[in-house]
Structures are given as C-alpha cells and as structure tokens.
Structure 1
Amino acid sequence: MRKKEAETPVRRSSRLQPEVSSEEMLNNAEAEEQHAPILLLRSSIKAHRLLPAVMEFQPETEPTQPVLEEEPASMPTRTKKIFLQEKDRTVPGEGPERFPRVVLKRLEVAEKEKENEGVEKEEVVEERKVIAQLTPAYSSNLIMKEKLLTPSSDWRNLRERRILKPMDSAVSKKRMLGNGQKHILWMSFCAYLLPCLLILGGASWYLWEFGTPRSLLVVPAQMHQGWSSFALLWRKWQRKEGCSSHCRFLLVESIPENLKYEREAVHYTSVYQAWMELLEGANSSIDIAAFYFSLRDMDIDVESPLSRQGKNVLEKLLELPSRGVKLSIAVNSPQKPQSDTEDLTKKGADVKYLDFQHLTGGVLHTKLWIVDKKHIYIGSANMDWRSLTQVKELGAVLYNCSCLAQDLHKIFQMYRYLGEEGVSIPHPWPTAFSADSGHTHPLHMLLNNNTAEVYISSSPFALCSGGRTSDLAAILSVIDDAEQFIYISVMDYVPRCQYCNPMRFWPAVDDRLRTAACDRRVVVRLLVSCWSHSDMSMFVFLESLSLLSQEPLGCPIEVKVFVVPANEEQKKIPFARVNHNKYMVTDRIAYIGTSNWSEDYFTKTAGIGLIINQTIATGDSILVRQELEAVFHRDWDSSYTHNLHSKMSCNTEA
C-alpha cells in the first residue's frame, strides 16, 4: 500500500476534465492501481508537451479516461528518443518501471486528421464546431477554447491564417476609383442641396416675418427691413460695453417773443440753445424724426428777422455731412415747402418721407433727436423757426444716456422702414424692434444723480413693437398712479375723434380724470391753449368737466386756458403765438409727450412719450418731477392764464 495516495499529483489533462463524483474518483483510482503505474507530475506534463496531440473533451456523461498504450511505431525520432528516456525513470521507492506515454482520446482525432489530409477545410471547421459545443461551460470564449486546445505552433498558424491577404492591385485600384466617384457625387449633391436649403430657409423666414406679400413690389422693401433687423441684432450682439444709464437731464423750453414772466419765476434753457449745442457737439451721427421742416421764413410773404435762429439751425445741419457726421431724417409727407429737406439731401443727408395718411390715416407727429446714439431731445418743438421764437414749447434733453437712446433708435428705425417704397406696417414687428423699456419693465437710471425708472411709449398701436407701451396706456397709467395731484398742460384736450367722419365721443382720458378726482379725491388741474385754431367744442367738454367741482359733488377739478399775446405783426405769422406744451406731472411721475389729447393722436398719428418715475431726491438736488411742477405753477398763476367760461374768445391782444 502506498504511503501518500492522497498527494498523488494531478495530471495536467485532468484540469480540463469535467467534474466527477467522489465515488467515481475512487473507482478510477483502484482501476489505475491495478492496471497501470502511477504517472509522475513531471513525466506526465513533459509527455503532454512533447506529443503534438489535440486534446478532446467529452460530455459530462462520458468522462475522458486516460488510455495507456505501448510505444507507437510511427512516433517521430526526437519524440521517440525522449520517450525512451522517460521509460527508464523509476518511481522513488519502487524501482525502475516502464512508463507508457499517456495518449488521450484526442490523439485519435489528430491521427485521423493526418490520415485524411485531403479532407476539405469545411469539414474541419464543422468538426471543430462540434468539438466547441462539447467543450465544458467554464470555457465560453471560442477563441480561448482554440488556444487552450491547440498547441502553440498550431495557434501561431491559426493566427497567421486569420490575417487578411493583401488585395490585388487591380481590385484595389478599382475600389479606389469607385470611392473617388462616390466622393465626387456626394460633393455635387451637397453643392446642389446647400443653395436649395438657403432659398427654402429664406422663403420660410420671409413668410414667417411678413406673411404672403400682396405685391412683388413690397418684397425688396420688406427684405431691406429684415436686413435692418438682422443688423440691429448683430450690432446688439457685437456690443461689448454696456450702455450708459448715468444721465444728465435738462428741461428746455421756448418762450415766445413779448411773453414776459415775473423776475422771480423759474426759467430754463431755451430749445434753440440746446439744439445748437447738440449740433456743435455731434461726432458721428444725428437722427431726427419730425412732422415737417420749415427752418426758413419761406412760407410767409416777407422776410422776418425773427427767423434768424431757425436759419442758424439749418446751416448747422447742412454742415454735418461735410464734417463726417451722418444725418438721417424721417419726416412726414407730403409737406410744403420741401426746400429745407431738398437742400439737406443735396448736402448728403439721408431723408425718408413717410406717407402716414396712407399707412395709418394720420401723420408723423413725433419730435425726436438722437445724437451720437447717446444724447436725446424729446419735446413739443417742431423743426420750425416759429418753434424757437413764436411758439411756447417744452421738452427734455438727456445727455450721455445711451441705454435710452438705443431704445429710441428702434422707434426711429421703424419710421425709416416705413419710408421705403410700397411697404406696409408689419404685424407683428420683427423682434429686432422689440422695446428695451415699457410700463412693466422700465429702465433703471440715474437722472442728475437721483434714481429713476424711465420708459418710452409710442403711438399709434400699430407702431408698438413687442414690449412697447402705447402712448395712451402710458397716460392712463400715470393718471391711475397719482395719489395727490395731476397737473396737465396740453394744447388740445378734446374727448372725441376730431378727424373721424362722422365724429364720435371718446371718453378714455376724460373718464380717468373724473374717477381720480371724484373717487380718489386727487386734485386735477387742466391747462389748455386758446388760439385762433382752437376747436371751440373743446371748451364745452372742458366746462362739463369743471362743473364737477360744484356742490354737492365737490370734485377737485379746475380748468384754465392759456393765451399767448400777439401784436399786429405777430398775428400775420401763421400757426404761431400758442402754448404748444404737451406734458403731465403728478406727485410721483413726470410725462413729456409729442401728441395732443384726442383720439386721432393715439389711434392714427405717430408720436412718443417720455415717462419718468422719480420720487426720492439725493441731497439738495431737484427731481425732474419737481422741475416740471414748477413750470406748471408758473404758467397756472401767470397773467396769461384765464378762467374757463361759456363764451370763450381766444383773440387776445398783446
């Protein structure tokens, strides 16, 4: 009996055997002890390495048993020599014995493959597939199975067989030519597809922005507008520095000749002086929107020395192109005379004429200057020599206020677009014209070092782009916001549509004023103009409004008229000697506009408004609202103001 049977070395081939039960292992051990000598670990491994046999596995139901054979006659010489050396080895303690080499059943397959050298490769592949199916589950990778079951030399051959053979030169050349043709076809297809996509995209964008064109004549103008919109967006995206909101505010006015206030009354910079400073300080551009141009006295029979200031302004405008300053103008059309704008065009100004009668049924009534995209003028003064010396005007100049100037420039660009041939008002306006400020999103600024909320309103509704508050909505919101007082100075206050046929009642503003006075007990004071062109029905409406102040109602409403005196020479000047102001001030907000207060100006006529919400002053500084309030009190208490009565006469002598 052996001393350590349990430590018998395990042959390498046994690692690839399926697991068997312990009882079968005992039976196998007894059979080996009776019929075959025990193989040493070294000799068995060496014999396994030397024999070029392919190991084969059987299913678990038929475990592979080692087969002992005598020395085969067909063994190679080198292998046979090694085999004879192995036979002379002895097991320690038991003397020399012959060790027949172990040949697994897989050797039969190898021998069979040698005998059947003419068998087709497909059969060999098929046989290997069968062998792979019978391989134990622990070796799932087919490549690893082949590597484990194939000697190293056969594995190298197998790996070399898997290397792709180089293509024939003719086949390679043909394939390269085919690829080149495909590449050329693909490039041609892309070159054809790209313009089609661009055209399709452009047409889709045009239909999205403007809809189906009514005529081919409007297409170029609308495309120009689209390009302008893109240019506005591009400039906005390209702008690296933020706009300036630290502005200097200056209230300006024109006081007609022979209109004298008390010495202690407030006085502000004249419109003429402000315009001349803006013209002299311009560096790159000036944009002007105006009702008309009449800076020379060519509309009256005799030359008047009073037109000298208007002529000076025109001379400065004519010099701008030669100084390298771009002058762009949007003006209502038709206008008579056109001599000023024609002379400006000859000097290089870019003038656009807007036929608002055709567009909206009204006129372009805006009075706006934008200088170098950072200085602004808004007010009641037209580009007229009379507005500087013969008409009472009021406006505002804001210096170094580029945030507000950029917002105003969008309105100016809308006017310029409407000056193109064959255009109509788009609905809605492209996003490039969307407002930067509005009632719900005002600009937060510093005006004379005092915080303020500022926004721009516009009329009519058709000219309000995305986010823009209409002029009427702005006026109503200022009235509704008042808590203590509402002071209004306007040339015309007519609660009806003056130029409609037939005329109709329009109570939008009138109802709000009555509500503010009678419901909230807000003091309402209304100062209107009385001159030769006044609509006499206006005074009837104003009288009905003032009657609310009588008992038992006692609503705090007062109405007065302002008359600018005129002598015989001044009476000969047409459309002069009138209080042309258009503003409103409350205990919280200041409003400076360009429109008279009747329905036509808010539904048909183009105009703008500047709304400033400023309630807290820093140090001894004066708020914009307070400056405007002081102007109203000066005019309200002056000798040129008269009480309203049923038989008004506006022919007051100087």
Structure 2
Amino acid sequence: MRKREPARGDTPLRRSTRLQQEKTWEQPQVSKEPQHSKERSITDILQPRESIRAHRQVIPTKEPSPPPPSHGPLLLSEPEAPKDSKQAVSEKDNLLPPVVRLRRLDIPQEEESSPHQNKPKEPRDPDVEWEVVKDQQARLRVLETRPRSTEERATVEQGAPSQQGMVANRTLRQQARVGLAPRWWGPASQIQARKESDPHKLPRTTLPPQARSEKWTKRLFSLPSLCLLLFLLVLGFACWFIWRYGSPVSFLGLAAYGQWGLSSMPRLWSGTEECTTQCSLVLVESIPGSLTYRPEDPRHLSIYQAWMDLLNGANSSVDIAAFYFTLRDSDIKVEDPSSQQGRDVFDSLLGLPSRGVKLSIAVNSPQMSEDDTEELARQGADIQYVNMKDLTGGIVHTKFWVVDQKHVYIGSANMDWRSLTQVKELGAVLYNCSCLAQDLGRIFAMYHMLGGEGVSIPATWPASLAAESSLDQPLKLQLNGAGAELYLSSSPPALCSAGRTSDLTAIVRTIEDAQAFVYIAVMDYEPQCTFCSPRRFWPIIDDALRAAACDRRVNVRLLISCWPHSHPAMFVFLESLSILSQKPLGCPIEVNLFVVPGGGERPPIPYSHVNHNKYMVTDRLAYIGTSNWSEDYFTKTAGVGLIINQSYHDSITAGQEFTLRHQLEQVFLRDWDSSNVLPLSSHRSCTKKN
C-alpha cells in the first residue's frame, strides 16, 4: 500500500459507507499480496507513529473492557515513548473523548517502509487528515501539538462537505490547543461546538478557581477595560462639574484669569457652614458734627463703631468691595483731627494678616491714591484692582463687607476717612446671618475674579456663583426675632450670575409693590445717562414713580442731596416730577433738598459735607443700595442692593420698632422734617459754588 495525501476535493466517507467498510474489515479477507508483505504492511500501519506515541495517553478506567481480537496489535506492550518537553501535555488540559482506530490513508511509495529494515524507519510527519472513528472500547488520547497554518486549515475546511466530520475535527483540534494559543471565542461558542460534535462523549471543560481568577484579572486590567474605566471617570466628573459649576465654557473663561489654579481646587469639595436663619440687624449711620437734630429724633450706631466691632471680632476672613481706599488723610496732604477714626480702621485692617485673618479686597482701578492698598498688600492682604471701565465702561461703586462668612455690612459709606466724620452715610449690619453672607460672598468672588490685567467677563458665570436669593425666591429668616424675607440685587446685568435679580429690577418692583407711600433718599437722581456722550433720556425709574403717584395715588417723596457737585440738569428733572402735584393732576409727589452744613475748615475738605444716602422705604419694603439713580449706575457700574420685606410683622405692636422697614421710615421722616431741608426752588444755592 502507498500512502498519498488526500486531494483537496476528496469527499470524506459517508457514515453508512464507513460502517460497511468496518464490517468488511473485521471479516478475514484473502489478499493477493504475499504473506510477508501483508504482515509488514499491517505492522507498519498499526505501529504508532512518533507523533502519536508522543501524545498517546492511557486514560485509566475503573473497569477497562478487553480489546477486540482483531485489533490486537494496537494493544501490544511497547516501551513508553520518551517525553518531549516541547510536546508535553499540561495536566490542566481537558480530557478528550475516547478516540479509537486510526485509519491510515494511502501513503506515497517513497515514504513506505522497506521490508528489509529491522526497525521501523522514523517516518516524517506528513500533513495528512486523520479520520476520527468513535469507539467506546478505545482509550487513546491524541493531541495535535503542531497547529496547522491558517491556509492549510482553510483548505481542509473548504474541501470537507460533511458538516458533522468538520465540526468533530475542528472541535478536537481546538480542545487540543487549550492553553497553547489565546482564544477569542467565548464559553457559549465552546458549548455549542461540543453539542454539535458529540454532547454525550465530550466532557465539560472546567478551569480551576485559580485559573478562572487569573483569567478575569487579565480581562479586568486589559487595555480596553482600563480605557473604559477612564472614560467613565471622565464622564462622571464632567457631569458633576456641569451640575455644580455650570457650563464648561464658563470654566474655560475663568481659567484664563488664572483664578482656577491648584490652590482653588480643594474649594470644590470643601463644605460650607450651615446656613443660620436667626439674624440680628442694626441700622448704622455716619452723622457729621455740623448736623443738629432734636433730642427726641432717632439715632443709630455709628458706622465707625460697627466697622471696628467687625474687625475686632474677625476670626478667619474679611472680604471688602470698595470704590477706593483713603482711610488716612495722606490723600489731601493735610492732617485733620477728624481723620483719626479712619486711621483706627486702617490700623485694624493692617493687623488682620498677623492675627491669621485673611484680608481680601476688590477695589476699583485706577485710584486717585494707592497708598493705603499698597501698604495693606505689603502686610499680606490680597488686593485685586478691577478695571471696570475696560470691562463694562463703568466703575466699581460697590460698598460692602463680608466677615467670617456670617457677618455683613452694606451701605453708602466708602472706605474713606470722610465717610466716618464728614459725610452723612447710612447702612445696615447683619450679624450671624451666614445665609446672606454666603450669597454676598458670591458677588465678591465675581469682583475678585475680574481683578488683574487682560481679563474679560465670561459669557456664563459658573453655577457655584449662582444667586442664593432673588426676587422670586427670597431668603426666609428671622431678623431681630421677627420673620422676614430678603434678597440681594446686583448691577450691571453683566455681573449678575444665574438667578440674580438686577438692581434696577429690584428698585422698580419695590416702587410697584408700594400701596401707601414711597420715600426715597439718594444723592443724585437723574433720568438720563449722565456720563454718556451724548447724554440720553432714561425714564425707567421716573416712569415708575409717576405711575405710582398718578395712577395708584401712592404718596411719593424724594430727598435729594444739595452740594457743590450736584448736576444742574438733575434739578430740571426733579421739577418735572414735582409739577405733577399741581392741579388739575394733583399727583402726590414731593421733592426736597437736604443740605449738610460745612464745618468751617480752612482749607475746606474736598468731597465732604453731603448727604450720601442711597435707600428707599415703602409701607411694605425696605431697600438699601450703593448706587446713585441714573442709567450709568445700573447698566455699567457695579453695585448691590439689600431688599427686606417685613410688612406682615408691622401690624404687631411688640417688636415693631426693631424691623428695618420701620427704622428706615423713622430716619427718613427725621431728615424730611429737619432744619437742613430746603425746597426744590432753592436749588440754585447748591450749585453757585460749582
């Protein structure tokens, strides 16, 4: 017989044909070949090849069945083949089903063993296909250690039309290569292949626990898994950042300012103090010595004393937003005894960093004198110069303090020694009111971010700076034991973060809410753009006052400052308002001028002796602001306002005198009825020195 390689187009034997041949093989046949040739042929055929001997493994069984007589040569005792280290089979390999008679195909003549050789010739390992025949009595295990190349496997699989034989051969080859090559087919594919080949004979492959653990560890720490984990982390952080800080565009804008460095990152996770709703409020004033009141007229805590108390009690931080800093009289190069209070405040500020209290200041730039701010910066204060003219075309006219994130001052007083002794000022101090302090601190953070050169206002402010109080959602807390609703307003609109009510809206809505009276005390009132070129008419607040007086018959009173720096055009607008009170209209509108007498200083102190108040009080609300009433201050200039509603507690007799609305009403009536008031017709005396 000659062994020949099967042609690619050869068709494997059918099962019926194979069974018929097996029956024929078992019967004795008369061969035409000589007897000695037949024996040699059978011996060569039944002699296991080296590749088979290297991989033959006897599977022990409890009750091995005797082999059939016709296959005796297969069971002859032979010396065990030497184990090849390269072809050694791992003990963890899966047991394969029994494999029985291996039918040798035709061998080419040049590869057939010579009959004169005493020992069989080491045959070459021709790449031939072996037909697997199932037999329950055989106990041989054949492993294929030399995997076929991709082209050879594809050729053999294409040439086998029998799906059953192809699945069986492929399954055996795949199982034989367990642990030798990586497999990309899952357990489901293995089970399906076993079912198709022989679900009863193929045992289930089970990896030991350690192998399974290593397998899942490799999958977990693979490159795709790590990339997926990193993507999920980045996605989670992005979602959290947008929820907490708003649009990423605002973050990129703020990053350009240099405000989002490594030092600011811990603030993202730092907790805030629990909001306190039990607040105390004190109305504070600066009354120049030249002003005289009756003994029965109300007086309040001085701004100087309120500032000193806040500085002496500061423990962690003091944040100040101001128009300018001239607490010492060095700006006028003249020593004045009245500047001592300003020096005391400056010395207290100078000592804050040495006490471990962080001092942060946001001030308008440029200033007439930077002596105070430069001295504070040398002692450790954080000074941010905000050039609002380049940002919005206005100035930083804001005047407020935030101390330890729980105490607040808002009012008309600048950080100027004259504001404590030479100028009439009014403000409010709220103690232990962290709800309001944290909200005001967000406005300060916006000013602080705008400090420096080359900055710009972002299109969207971060969500972390969003308003915590507004006209629609005011803070509800206790002020001096009485219930109150209050919120903060801000200007200009470009500096209003999400939810913040603009200062102009707050003023107009306060006027529209009035039912009985509206009392206004401001330094300047002009329904025009004062600092625009050319000037333009701006009647928004003026129209609201006219509608309140003429439509709803609300009593409107305006107390305007009269001093050498008053604009002549302002008095013309005021006259157009007061003339509405004449018949036949009879609108209840009254306008008076307030004059602060000079102190007779020689030389005179510049920018002093003026009523610098900026507040409004109605029968329902109280408003304390930092801006004069003209278009520039609401569209370009930075300012804030505090609006408090305690109308539903005014009817209560007990504690009524402690409400801000009631105190503010009494202050206005005191000034309105004082001897320092002039009729509007005397306005020429205000500007004759200008």
Normalising by structure 2, report the TM-score: 0.66
Q: Of 551, 569, 573, which aligns to 1:541?
A: 573
- Residue in 2 that maps onto 1:209: 248
Partner SS state of residue 454, structure 1: strand
The within-5 A match list for 1:497-646 is 497-569=529-601, 572-615=604-647, 616-617=649-650, 618-621=652-655, 622=657, 623-645=659-681
- Which of residues 489, 503, 515 in structure 2 aligns to 1:471? 503
The reply on whether 1:278 has 2:317 as its aligned counterpart is no
CA contact (8 A) 2:365 2:386 kept: yes
1:403 — aligned with what?
435
SS of aligned partner of 2:564? coil
Residue deviations 1:139-185 (CA, integer Å, cap 9, x gap): xxxxxxxxxxxxxxxxxxx9995545899x9xxx9x99x96996698
Work out the CA distance in 2 between the residues paired with 1:232 and 1:642: 54
CA contact (8 A) 1:395 1:592 kept: yes
Q: Is the 8 A contact 2:510 2:621 kept in 1?
A: yes
Contact 2:410 2:428 (8 Å CA) reproduced: yes
Query: How far, CA to CA, are the matches of 2:274 and 2:303 in structure 1?
Result: 30
Paired with 1:212 and 1:567, the residues of 2 have a C-alpha distance of 52
Matching residue's letter, 1:509: I
- Decide whether the 8 Å contact of 2:250 with 2:461 is kept in 1: no
- 5 Å-filtered alignment, 1:221-370, equals 221-222=256-257, 224-225=259-260, 234-235=269-270, 238-239=271-272, 242-370=274-402
Contact 2:409 2:430 in 1 (8 A): yes
Distance (whole Å) between structure 1 residues aligned to residue 552 and residue 263 of structure 2 = 47
Q: Report if aligned partners of 1:233, 1:432 keep a CA contact under 8 Å in 2.
A: no
Displacement of 1:260: 1.1
Measured after TM superposition, the shift of residue 427 of structure 1 is: 1.8
Q: Residue 512 of structure 2 aligns with which residue?
A: 480
Inter-partner Cα distance in structure 1 for 2:355 and 2:246: 42
1:638 to 1:424, Cα distance in 2 relative to 1, 3 A = same
Q: CA deviation at 1:547?
A: 0.1
- Measured in 1, the distance between the counterparts of 2:321 and 2:522 equals 21
Cα deviations by residue, 1:458-516 (Å, 9 ceiling, x for unpaired): 00000110110000000000000000000000000000000111100000000000000
Take 1:636 and 1:288, find their aligned partners in 2: how far apart are those partners? 32
State the SS of the aligned residue for 2:570: helix
Cα distance between partner residues in 2 of 1:562 and 1:164: 102
Match of 1:448 among 456, 473, 480: 480
| CA distance in 2 between partners of 1:565 and 1:460 (Å) | 34
After TM superposition, list the pairs within 5 Å mapping 1:53-72 onto structure 2: none
Which residue matches 2:4? none
* Secondary structure, aligned partner of 2:222: helix
Deviation readout 1:349-381 (Å, 9 max, x if unpaired): 111110001111111111111111111100000
Residue 466 to residue 184, structure 1, CA distance change in 2 (3 Å): closer
Alignment of 1:390 onto 2:425: no
Pick aligned residue for 2:444 from 384, 409, 412: 412
- Specify the SS of the correspondent of 1:353: strand
Q: Distance in 2 between matches of 1:189 and 1:264?
A: 81
SS of equivalent residue, structure 1 residue 650: helix
CA contact (8 A) 1:333 1:354 kept: yes
Q: Residue 140 of structure 1 corresponds to which residue in structure 2?
A: none
Indicate the larger mover: 203-212 or 394-403.
203-212
Partners of 2:564 and 2:688 within 8 A in 1: no
Distance in 1 (CA, whole Å) between partners of 2:231 and 2:259 is 21
Instruction: Decide whether the 8 Å contact of 1:210 with 1:222 is kept in 2.
Output: no
621-630 or 184-193, which deviates more: 184-193
Structure exhibiting the larger radius of gyration computed from Cα positions: 1
Question: Structure 1 stretches of 5 or more lacking a match?
Answer: 1-112, 130-157
Aligned equivalent of 1:494, options 523, 526, 538: 526
CA pair 163-285 structure 1, distance change in 2 beyond 3 A: same
211 and 450 in structure 1: CA distance in 2 versus 1, 3 angstrom threshold: closer
Q: Name the CA distance, whole Å, in 2 between partners of 1:647 and 1:219.
A: 48
- Contact kept, 8 Å, 1:539 with 1:646, in 2: the verdict is no
Give the drift of 1:116. Answer: 11
Counterpart pick for 2:489 among 430, 453, 457: 457
Q: Is the CA contact (8 Å cut-off) linking 1:221 and 1:421 kept in structure 2?
A: no
User: How far apart, in 1, do the equivalents of 2:410 and 2:356 lie?
Assistant: 24
Cα deviation 1:300-328 (Å, max 9, x = unaligned) = 13211110000000001111111111111
The DSSP-based 3-state class of the residue aligned with 2:289 is coil
Partner Cα distance (1:567, 1:386) in 2 = 12
In the aligned structure 1, how far is the partner of 2:470 from the partner of 2:599? Answer: 45
Query: Shift of the alpha carbon at 1:262?
Result: 1.0
Say which SS state the counterpart of residue 549 (structure 2) adopts: helix
Q: How does 1:41-60 map to 2 (within 5 A)?
A: none
Q: What do residues 43-78 of structure 1 show as CA deviations (whole Å, max 9, x unaligned)?
A: xxxxxxxxxxxxxxxxxxxxxxxxxxxxxxxxxxxx
Q: Which amino acid aligns with 1:416?
A: H
CA contact (8 A) 1:444 1:451 kept: yes
- Separation in structure 2 between the aligned mates of residue 524 and residue 427 of structure 1, nearest angstrom: 39
**Alpha-carbon shift at residue 648 of structure 1 (Å):** 2.0
For the residues of structure 1 that align with 2:607 and 2:206, how far apart are their CA atoms?
A: 99
The DSSP-based 3-state class of the residue aligned with 1:505 is: coil
Secondary structure of the equivalent of 1:577?
coil
Number of residue pairs matched?
A: 499
Q: Is the CA contact (8 Å cut-off) linking 2:324 and 2:414 kept in structure 1? A: yes
2:226 matched to 1:190?
yes
- Distance in 2 of aligned mates of 1:231 and 1:180: 37
* SS class of match (1:497): coil
Identity among equivalent pairs (%): 56
Partners of 1:638 and 1:166 lie apart in 2 by 101
Distance change (3 Å), C-alpha of 1:198 and 1:347: same
Distance 1:405 1:200 in 2: 31
Task: For 2:206 and 2:199, locate their aligned partners in 1 and report how far apart those are by CA, in whole Å.
Answer: 16
* Shift in Å, 1:428: 1.6
Aligned ranges 1:14-163 → 2 under 5 Å: 122=134, 162-163=202-203
AA in 2 matched with 1:642: L
Q: Kindly tell me: are residues 641 and 228 of structure 1, through their superposed partners in 2, closer, same or farther at Cα, counting changes over 3 Å?
A: farther
CA contact (8 A) 1:489 1:583 kept: yes
In the alignment, is the contact (CA less than 8 A) between 1:290 and 1:332 conserved in 2?
A: yes
Amino acid at match of 2:663: E
Q: What is the CA–CA distance in structure 2 between the aligned matches of 1:533 and 1:210, rounded to whole Å?
A: 44
Distance 1:553 1:219, change over 3 A: closer
Tell me: CA distance 1:227–1:601, structure 2 relative to 1, closer, same or farther (3 Å): farther
Distance (Å, rounded) in 2 between the aligned partners of 1:437 and 1:324: 31
CA distance in 1, matches of 2:257, 2:539: 37
Residues 1:375 and 1:366: Cα distance change in structure 2 (over 3 Å):
same
On the 8 A contact 2:246/2:464 being kept in 1, the answer is no
Deviation at 1:649, TM superposition (A): 1.3
The answer as to whether partners of 1:321 and 1:348 remain within 8 angstroms in 2 is: yes
For the structure 1 residues 201 and 441, does the alpha-carbon distance in structure 2 shift closer, same or farther, using more than 3 Å as the test? Answer: closer
The Cα shift of 1:257 comes to 2.0
Take 1:233 and 1:409, find their aligned partners in 2: how far apart are those partners?
A: 16
Measure how far apart 1:195 and its partner are: 9.1
C-alpha distance in structure 2 between counterparts of 1:223 and 1:406, whole Å: 23
